[in-house]
Structure 1
Amino acid sequence: MSFNIRYLKGKQALSLESAVRSCAQNGDERSKEFIYKNCYGYVRAITMRYVKNEYDAEELTNESFIRAFGKVGTFSSGDAGERFEKSFRAWLARIAVNISIDFLRAQKQFVPLDEINEGEIQQQSVAVSGDLHVEDIMKLLAQLPEIQRAIFNLYEVEGYSHEEVSVLLAIPESTSRTYLTRAKKKLRQLYLASTNITAGF
C-alpha cells in the first residue's frame, strides 16, 4: 500500500506529510480530518490487538487521535515523503500502544499475576511454528490471557525491549520474559489444535 495518498484541498493536493505539518503549525481542522481518515484503520488495528471488545477499541482509537492532535507539534522528522509518513505512523502507533496499555492497567487486567516459578524463568525460548503467518497469529492472539497478549504485542509486534515492557506494565523484567515464553507456547498449542496436529509439549 502506498503512503502517498492525496486528496484535493481546494486546488492543492494534500498528502499525509503536508497534513501533519499543517496540523502542527495551525491546528487545521481539514488536515486533522485527512490524518484521521488516512490513519484510522492503522490505529484501530493496533488497539484491537490489545482489547477484545470492539467498542473499547473504537474508544481507544479515537482517544489516540485526540492525544496525537494535542501533541502533533512535538513530532519532528527530518525526513520527507514516504520516510516522513512512516516515521509519523510509528509515532502514532506508540501513542495508540501507550493508551491501550493505560486502559488495560486501569481495568486491572494485569493484577494479580500468575505465580511464576524459577524454572520457568530460565526457559525463555519457545519457537512458534514456522507455518504460523501474521494473519494466523492475530486471530489466535485474542485467545491469550490479557497480560500474555499485551507482552507478545509489545515485544514481538511493536519492538519494545523487555526492559521497556517492564516499565510500561510495571512488572519485573523477568516476568515479561516468562509471559512472552508462555504466550509463544500457548500460540503454538492453539495453532496446532486449529490444524488438528497433535504434538507433545
Structure 2
Amino acid sequence: MFFRKNSKAFDLTDTLNGCLKGKQTAQRALYEHYFSFAKSICLRYAASQEQAEEMVNDGFLKVLEKLPLYDPTRAFEAWFRTVVIRTSIDYYRRNQLQGTRITLEDAPEPEYEDNLLENMAAEEILTLVQKLPPAYRAVFSLFVVDGYTHAEIAELLGINEGTSRSNLAKARTKLQAWVSTSHPAYMK
C-alpha cells in the first residue's frame, strides 16, 4: 500500500529518552507531536502568526535544553506548558516591553460585561487578544487564560502588581469596546 499511515505510535518515554541522547529523530517527533499545543499557547502572547511560530521554536529549544531537569513522575504536558509560557514571556520581554511599561498603580476598575466574550468563537477572541498592546496582551493571557495571580505576573514581567491590575483592566475595557462595536448584538 502506498498510502499506509505511519504505524509507529508516539511513545513519550522513548521520545524523551531519545531527546536526552540528542537523537534528531526523537527531537523531530517531539516537535511534531507538540507543535499545535505549543502554538496554541504562544498565539495568546504573540501579535501575529509569525511571532507565535518564533515563540514556538524558542520554546522547543528551551524544552530540549531544560529536558534533563524534567521530573518524569510529573505530567509532561504541564511541565512543557510552563516552559513554553515562560519562553513566550521571555520573548515578550526581549521584543515588546520597551516603551510599554505603565506606572499607573491604582487605576479605578472600569465596568465591563464579563459575558460578552462567552458568545464569541475562540478564533474571534484570539484575533481580538492579538490586537491588544503587548503589555495588555501578556497580562490578560497570564491572568485570564493561564491563571497566574497579579503577584506572579508582576514577578514574571518585572512590573508592579498595581501595573498588572491596571493592564488587565485596560485590556478588558479595550476588548469590551471592540466586541461592542463589532458585535452590537452582544451588548445589553
Normalising by structure 1, we get a TM-score of 0.77
Matched, 1:153 2:136: no
1:82 maps to what in 2? none
Counterparts of 1:199 and 1:127 in 2: how far apart (Å)? 8
**1:134: how far off?**
3.1
**1:99: how far off?**
1.8
**1:110: how far off?**
5.1
1:62 maps to what in 2? 57
Counterparts of 2:111 and 2:151 in 1: how far apart (Å)? 17
Deviations 1:85-126 (A, max 9, x none): xx3222222222222222222225353434526352xx2774
Letter in 2 for 1:167: E
- After superposition, the Cα gap between the structure-2 partners of 1:48 and 1:167, relative to the gap in structure 1 and judged at 3 Å, is same
Normalising by structure 2, we get a TM-score of 0.82
- After superposition, the Cα gap between the structure-2 partners of 1:76 and 1:152, relative to the gap in structure 1 and judged at 3 Å, is same
2:160 maps to what in 1? 172
Matched, 1:19 2:18: no
SS of residue paired to 1:118: coil
Selected match of 1:99 from 81, 87, 90: 87
5+ long unaligned stretches in structure 1: 1-5, 80-86
The sequence identity of aligned pairs, in percent, is: 26
Deviations 1:162-196 (A, max 9, x none): 11100011111111112111111221221121113
Tell me the number of residue pairs that the alignment of Structure 1 and Structure 2 aligns.
181
Counterparts of 1:180 and 1:119 in 2: how far apart (Å)? 11
Show structure 1 runs of 4+ deviating over 4 A: 197-200
Counterparts of 1:181 and 1:17 in 2: how far apart (Å)? 43
Counterparts of 1:33 and 1:56 in 2: how far apart (Å)? 21
Q: CA RMSD in A?
A: 2.6
Letter in 1 for 2:44: R
Higher RCO structure, 1 or 2 (CA under 8 Å, sep 6+) = 2
